[in-house]
Amino acid sequence: MMRSLLFVVAAAAIAACSSTSDAPDTTDASAVTNEPTASSSSSSSSSGAPDDDDDPPKPRFVDTCTLQESCGPATAAERSGLAEVERCGFSLEESENLGATPELVSALAGLTTPVSVQDVLADANRVATKTNTVPGGPAGVQYAFEWQGDDDASIAWTPQGITGTADATDTGKVGQRSAVLVSFYDHPVPSSGEENRGVRIAFVDTTTAVAPKYRFVLLVAPKGTREAPSFDPIKIHAGGIVWYRDYLYVADTTRGFRVFDMRHLLRVAVDPGMFGCTNGTCRAGTYKYVLPQIGSYAVKSSCKPIFSWVSLDRKSDPPSLVSGEYCSGEACAGPLAGRIFRWPLDAATGLLRSKVTFPTEAYLMSHRQVQGGAFIDGVAYLSSSAPTNDGGDLYRVTKGKSATSKWGNNPEDLMVDAANGWLWSLTEKAETRSVFAVKLTSYPPP
């Protein structure tokens, strides 16, 4: 890994587990003020979800868990399979009025041009290259592409999380387009004098599979007042992302999830030397599009789960976000202390199903250096950077069982494309980066 390790120590909790340290972040994940505006609901959905605005609100789910239980055992025997942990030791709390449009986001929309996901994809300005080769040689590759040369070689911007229309909608498309989204985090070379621009998302149009193209969108945190709104970059690691219905969930290592609404993509003025809003004009340096944060889900329990990555299980009942923890010999209580959690969603809204949400399942993974994970029909698929010489493994894990396959080198997050029977991932090392999808039948349960 090309990144520095994060040490997080929590009393009465397993030490925090993350493969890297987040860039310094002066913006609290819950700092967005969600004062709803008169136009707090959008009349159209970027994900094709039905408009239920006229229906009366339904009661939120109430979990039987109390606030705090045991944090569970600190470690597991290596490759011993999933080991259940008491789920009630972990919880996430929803920010106020999440789902409504924050006042500051509405104010920013008044100074910019609101656009749709389709607009961004249609305005792609960078060219990816379809490839048949994935470093590491994983079996069953069905599709793969490489980034444009400067993005492939960049040592400042590193790819991490993956999601797409396969997660977002039942059809796997938005409008008539299919897309893959990948998060990149910025870590400028200290001697360069460059400012940290935080996190950008590559919106990759894969509708024409032989000619993928993409455009970067910068994630921003609204600030200021209704009369004078502005925004800051969001300086986090963004090790995993999920797009479900209208919402983009971004893993924030020690805090939980930051939440963005895909109906609030904004086009801004381009000015390499300017960032933020002044004199009625908003700019984000060289970026033409920004996506403002609308809220968060913050870690509530003292057991302190860590959010190194996240994926979506559309087939679970209810659908769920699956998050997990990276642990190595230099981070966490130990290299085998990493846990995996299933956070239940409300399929009607796209948000977590409770104001305070507990996972429906929690397990120790019994594997080290897990960079991404997903549940598929009850089997945990885990990508790992544990092999030497930049290698990668894919573990298939159930209770008491585990199997290992060769995977892409320097692997990261995972995404399940259930409609096609594919598992997506990506590699992070500069000059060998690729995004790829494999046939799930090439990786049977253990």
Do 369 and 326 form a contact (C-beta atoms < 8 A)? Answer: yes
The confidence band for 107, taking pLDDT boundaries of 50, 70 and 90, is very high
Instruction: Name the E strands within 171-280.
Output: 179-186, 199-205, 213-224, 229-233, 241-244, 247-252, 256-261, 265-267, 275-278
Q: What is the largest CA-CA distance in the chain?
A: 61
pLDDT at 428 over 50: yes
> Mean of the per-residue pLDDT values for the chain?
89
What residues contact residue 260 under an 8 Å CB cut-off, 6+ apart? Answer: 219, 247, 248, 250, 291, 292, 293, 294
Query: Of 27-31, 32-36, 284-288, which gets the smallest average pLDDT?
Result: 32-36
The arithmetic mean of pLDDT across residues 145-161, rounded, is: 98
**pLDDT of the residue at 57:** 65
What pLDDT sits at residue 54?
56
pLDDT at 4: 39
Per-residue pLDDT band at 145 (split at 50, 70, 90) = very high
Q: How is residue 317 annotated by DSSP? A: S
pLDDT of residue 249: 99
Q: How far apart are the first and last CA of the chain?
A: 28
Residues forming a β-bridge with 389:
none
Structural domains of the chain, ranges and CATH numbers in brackets = 83-442 (2.120.10)
Enter the pTM of the model: 0.90
- The whole-number pLDDT of residue 66 equals 74
State residue 194's pLDDT score.
Answer: 78
pLDDT at residue 27 greater than cutoff 60: no
Query: 28: pLDDT confidence band, cut at 50, 70 and 90?
Result: low
Whether the CB-CB separation of 307 and 297 falls below 8 Å is answered with no
Quick one: pLDDT band at residue 50, thresholds 50, 70, 90? very low
Outline where 204-243 has alpha helix (H). Answer: none
Among 315, 303, 313, which residue's Cα sits nearest to residue 256? Answer: 303
State mean pLDDT over 87-92. 94
pLDDT digits (tens, 9 = 90+) for 177-231: 999 999 999 987 776 777 889 999 999 999 999 999 999 999 999 999 999 999 9
pLDDT tens-digit series, residues 224-271: 999 999 999 999 999 999 999 999 999 999 999 999 999 999 999 999
Report the pLDDT value the prediction gives residue 62, as an integer from 0 to 100.
84
Q: What is the structure's pLDDT at 212? A: 99
Rounded CA separation 323/332 (Å): 16
Q: What is the mean pLDDT of residues 432-441?
A: 98
Q: What is the pLDDT of residues 351-391, one digit of tens each?
A: 999 999 999 999 999 999 999 999 999 999 999 999 999 99
Residue 121 has pLDDT above 80, yes or no: yes
Contact yes or no for 358/65 (Cβ under 8 A): yes
* b/e 316-329 (16+ beta carbons within 10 angstroms → b): beebbbbbbbbbbe
Q: Which tokens sit at 274? A: 């300017």
What percent of the chain lies above the pLDDT cut of 90?
A: 78
Residues of the chain with pLDDT > 70: what percent?
Answer: 86
Confidence band (pLDDT; 50, 70, 90) for 305?
very high
Segment (H or E) for 150? helix 149-153
Residue 430 has pLDDT above 70, yes or no: yes
